[in-house]
Structure 1
Amino acid sequence: MRLSELKVGDKGEVTAVKAESAVRRRIMDMGLIKGTRFKVLRVAPLGDPMEIFFKGLHLAMRKNEADGIVVRKVVEGAECVPCPAAKQLFGGLEVLNE
């Protein structure tokens, strides 16, 4: 999923930055790197620009920049707990929603 696909109030985590080299470097220099969690604060009516909040920063970016950032949506209230069977068979975790 791309950052540009998220809506106001959505929270996410960066999984990759795949923008063009100059844009990629600028985004990563600001601290928006793999593993960074953020919240979408505002999106203009046509989706350009959008404002996100992370690490105490407010960042506005254009849609084409947000298209180059791959994210996963973070769902509040979900927690990961070890599942003995899954861990033994697959080395994985089971996700429980409260």
Structure 2
Amino acid sequence: METLLSELKPGQEAIIKEFTSEEIFLKLMEMGCLPGEKIVVENVAPLGDPVSVAVAGYTLSLRKNEAGHIVVDTID
């Protein structure tokens, strides 16, 4: 199911599909995060910001508005 990374809960897994912002695309591309990569939500801060995710073999923290620009397909 297609959704935004910011809507996932801890423990949910997904595949990165696309980015809705060129700015976030360039930032993540520099870190090796590309469409087709598996991404796992590890933690969400109590107020929802930041979001900690595991992707490409490392842990990355993203602001909620950044995660809102990442379209993913959830893995059931």
Q: Is the TM value for this pair above 0.5? A: yes
What does 1:12-31 correspond to in 2, within 5 Å? 12-19=14-21, 21-31=22-32
Equivalent pair of 1:9/1:39 in contact (CA under 8 Å): yes
Query: How much has 1:47 moved relative to structure 2?
Result: 1.2
CA apart distance, 1:24: 2.0
Runs of 4+ in 1 over 4 A off after TM superposition: none
How many angstroms does 1:52 deviate by?
0.4
Which 5+ residue runs of structure 1 have no aligned equivalent? 76-98
Percent identity of the aligned residues? 38
Q: CA RMSD in A?
A: 1.0
TM-score if structure 1 supplies the norm length? 0.71
Equivalent residue for 2:48? Answer: 47
Say which structure, 1 or 2, has more relative contact order (CA 8 Å, 6+ apart): 2
Aligned length: 74
Q: Can you give the 5+ residue segments of structure 2 that lack an aligned partner in the other structure?
A: none
User: What is the TM-score with the length of structure 2 in the denominator?
Assistant: 0.90
